[in-house]
Amino acid sequence: MFEYNLGKHYPQDTESRVVIRFQDCDPMQHLNNAKYFDYYFNAREDQVPKLYGLEIIDLIRKYESAWVVYNHNISYVKPAMVGEWVRIMSRIIWHNHNTIVVEYYMTDDSKTQLKNVLWSTMRYVTLKEGKSTDHTGAVDDFLKATSGNLDVSKMDIRDRVKTLSLELKKVI
């Protein structure tokens, strides 16, 4: 279970290195559009326990609540190709009392070329009634420790694609 430690640094970004699998690609050898979701969600599920010592299922069981996606916003920039090694980054870029926005993005292995960006907006709801509820306890601590404060109300995903692309070019 997550226990907030005031003296500990909690990185906001998770990162994974994965290879694009043949079975996930279309006849043109591009990663199938729907498969980006699988790669993103699997990468985050692998990284959160490593970085934060937290299995999300533990929070779900303790608080009898979970995040439910109500919006995905995805931008395909450059195709990920069969056999290509890529980097997958994810982070919570914004949260309030009952909602989070998780940003996922994929680059080439050298992190110089943006391939894709996904924003998933999720509402925190009770398991029994399926009604919106507030983040409390360790859930709220986790979000405060690991979330960014990007003002998503003042931008759209196209703005974010431009910003991320520029940031990657500066790394070169």
Domain count, the chain: 1
Q: Is the per-residue pLDDT at 172 higher than 60? A: no
158 falls within a domain: yes
Q: Calculate the alpha carbon distances from 27 to 13, 24, 37 in Å.
A: 33, 10, 19
4 falls within a domain: no
What CATH code is carried by the domain that includes residue 147? 3.10.129.10
3 falls within a domain: no
pLDDT digits (tens, 9 = 90+) for 110-167: 999 999 999 999 999 999 999 999 999 999 999 999 999 898 988 999 999 999 999 9
Alpha helices in the chain (DSSP H): 35-52, 56-63, 137-146, 157-171
137 falls within a domain: yes
9 falls within a domain: no
Domain hosting 46: range is: 14-171
